[in-house]
Amino acid sequence: MTEADPNRLSLTEEDLRFVVDESGQDALNPERLRQLVRDDPSFRNALVGDDRVFDRVVSTEKEDLLRVSPTLYFEVLLRRALKDLGQESHTLERSGSDTVVVFDTDEVTEFLSNGAVLDYLATMMASFTKVESYMVPVRVRRGTWRRVRFNDMDIDSLVKLAASVDEGQQFRYFKRIADVCLFVLGISPNHAQSGVKRFAAGSPAAGASRRGRRTAEEYTDIGRRFYQTAGEHYTADAAGLTEPLLLLRDNFPVARKVLNIVSERYLRYSRNQVFDVGMS
């Protein structure tokens, strides 16, 4: 009997129907297929990574994407990247105005082949399809509280919020800070060259450019440090996220490249439609 993979992403019933319909159109017993997807992780991953599922996902208009969950959408793209990279000998990197050939596909595919990493990246990318702002009460001094607006795409806001909440609540903000750094460099690397706010002196993310411009190196440094902080938080262990968070800390440039590949190959013309972050 095949054991269930506790790290695999859950499929909604609509996701399940979509995957089975698109990958098993000639199946005589679609209900049996759906049960196999539920019970067998290898079979599930094969169907989610099927070429017909990928073709349907990338050819679908944004309005029709509501049929599948954002997490499934990005899992399909990540599995396609894994498949494509397995057939290639090199990747390309930009260095100024030049393009450099890098023979690192073995390293990238090994990293992305980790199921916990792929699941985490799919969930993380899905979280940027809707960016939220919210008001949070922050204690200014003893007995005095003030409601402050935070945005979960704004690293500075997240740093302040993490410093103002109880230890048990800090994990989500530590993780989000690291995710924002990876997302910016992976999906919209040009944003690293645009003007951004500085961190306050002495903040947990100190090291941001004094010029008011956060560089790619600064995003990388902040991302790695907060993935470590999140990965070492007791909540990470309880949520089963210690492994992917620490792997992202150790392999941040590789994770960035994975997102670069997904963005450039499969999202080049739909990035602004898919993500709700206002980036170019």
pLDDT tens for residues 192-230?
754 444 333 334 454 444 344 689 999 999 999 999 999
Burial grade of 234 (CB within 10 A; 0-12, 13-18, 19 or more): exposed
| Residues 46 and 134 placed together within one structural domain of the fold | no
**Which residue do the tokens 């500075």 mark?**
156
Q: Give the model's pLDDT for residue 225.
A: 98
Q: Provide the whole-model pTM.
A: 0.86
- Domain closes at, from 53, 68, 83: 68
| Residues 148 and 41 placed together within one structural domain of the fold | no
pLDDT tens-digit map of 115-136: 999 999 999 999 999 888 878 7
Domain annotation covers residue 114: no
End-to-end CA distance of the chain: 48
Q: Domains in the chain: how many in total? A: 2
Q: Give the model's pLDDT for residue 193.
A: 59
For the chain, percent of residues with pLDDT exceeding 70: 84
Query: In the numeric block, which tokens belong to residue 186?
Result: 């992976």
Domain annotation covers residue 90: no
Inter-residue contact 170 to 180 (CB < 8 Å): no
Domain annotation covers residue 181: yes
| Residues 136 and 207 placed together within one structural domain of the fold | yes
C-alpha torsion sign, points 106, 107, 113, 114:
positive
Q: Give the model's pLDDT for residue 211.
A: 40
Domain annotation covers residue 116: no
Domain annotation covers residue 178: yes
At residue 52, does pLDDT exceed 70? Answer: yes
In terms of phi and psi (left: phi > 0; alpha: psi -120 to 50; beta: otherwise), the region of 225 is alpha
Domain annotation covers residue 174: yes
Domain annotation covers residue 52: yes
| Residues 64 and 171 placed together within one structural domain of the fold | no
Domain annotation covers residue 228: yes
Residue 57: give the domain boundaries: 1-68
Scanning the chain, the segments in alpha helix (DSSP H) are: 13-23, 30-39, 41-48, 51-58, 70-85, 105-112, 115-126, 155-164, 167-187, 216-231, 234-238, 242-250, 252-266, 271-274
Inter-residue contact 189 to 223 (CB < 8 Å): no
| Average pLDDT, rounded, for the chain | 85
| Residues 136 and 240 placed together within one structural domain of the fold | yes
CA distances from 177 to 10, 132, 191, 221 (A): 25, 14, 16, 11
| Residues 146 and 64 placed together within one structural domain of the fold | no
